[in-house]
Amino acid sequence: MHSSRRRFLQAAAAFAALSAAGCGRNHLPAYAPASSHVAPPAISGSLRLLVLGDWGSGQIEQWQVAQGMETLAASLKGFHAGLMLGDNFYPGGVSSIDDPLWSQYFEQVYDTPHLGQLHWHALLGNHDHAGSVRAQFEYTRKNPRWHMPWFFWSHTFHSASGPLVKVVAIDTNRKFGQWAAQMHFLDRELECSPDLPVVVCGHHPIYTCGKLGALPRVKYELRDKLVRAGVKAYISGHEHNQQLIVRDGLTQLVQGGGGKVLTPLVWKQQAKGVVFGAEEYGFSVLYADAQGLRFDWRDRTGKLLHEHTL
């Protein structure tokens, strides 16, 4: 508690100084290492996954969201893992596994008592493709907190009594050249899990009431595949806000509030199926147990904004 308050006061002082100088964004507070770490709990009856998108900005808001995740983690006695939805490093990805952004934006910002040993499963966003995507794969072997083995991957989370949910990550970027191979991979993953809830994650949304819109092959080809397969949910970022859209039998969570400048919601353009939307920094939580899946949306302090049960 004292450590969290000390960090908050450091951030407030740093933000005030930067604002006075006319450069209030793109600066994090001075790094204060956590005095100790709490190991993530074992998965018992229920799984808790942090969900974070569009986070690697280096802005004070990125740090504030991390502190909000830490506050909620302490109240829930920890999370089991995290999902990162792309645009991991602004403005142009990383140059290598030794790029200082790994330390500044990832290792230090998420070094809190309950996040400092958390394992993050990540995928690529459009800004990441501007740098070395191979470096983000190779960093998986360097840091056990980071998991991105390839452009597309799957991971099944198990409790002691059996599997709870399968997460399948894909690359939705416009110039991704292995789309056909990826769709074949996705088909296999969906076919081999007929009795297991499946959540698919990609950087770009299928549906959105934000201003950026959806890419055609995501909006049509990917959507049709997920709807036919009865996928439980699709999770994305890209829009720097928070949304829930339920449409065509598919539940879509948009979580792009991880730290980059917010983008507006444009309700009248694509309002069909919109259940919730907020122009807020923050994060989400995916809960999975024997009864099914539940999502919630949180602001930068960890305050609950909305929840949805599938």
**Per-residue pLDDT, 235:** 98
* Rounded Cα–Cα distance for residues 285 and 129 (Å): 26
Task: Name the DSSP letter for residue 41.
Answer: P
Stretch 28-41: mean pLDDT, rounded? 96
Per-residue pLDDT at 119: 98
Both tokens assigned to 302:
């960890």
Contacts of 182 (CB under 8 A, 6+ apart): 151, 152, 170, 171, 176
Per-residue CA distances from 98 to 85, 95, 136, 164, 302 (Å): 22, 8, 11, 35, 32
Strand partners, 298: 283, 304
Query: How do residues 123-166 score in pLDDT, each as one tens digit?
Result: 999 999 999 999 999 999 999 999 999 999 999 999 988 999 99
pLDDT score for 255: 98
Q: What is the pLDDT of residue 26?
A: 65
pLDDT over 50 at 9, yes or no: no
Mean pLDDT of 227-231: 95
Task: Answer with the residue of higher pLDDT: 97 or 10.
Answer: 97
Average pLDDT score, the chain: 91
> Domain coordinates of the chain in residue numbers?
46-309
Q: Which of 57, 58, 55, 60 is nearest to 14 (CA)?
A: 60
Distances (CA, A) of 212 to 10, 113, 127, 131, 166: 34, 36, 14, 22, 28
pTM for this prediction: 0.90
| Highest CATH level, class, for 46-309 | alpha beta
Q: Which two structure tokens, joined as six digits, stand for 69?
A: 């995740």
Average pLDDT over residues 106-111: 98
Q: What whole-number distance in Å separates Cα of residue 187 and Cα of residue 191? A: 6
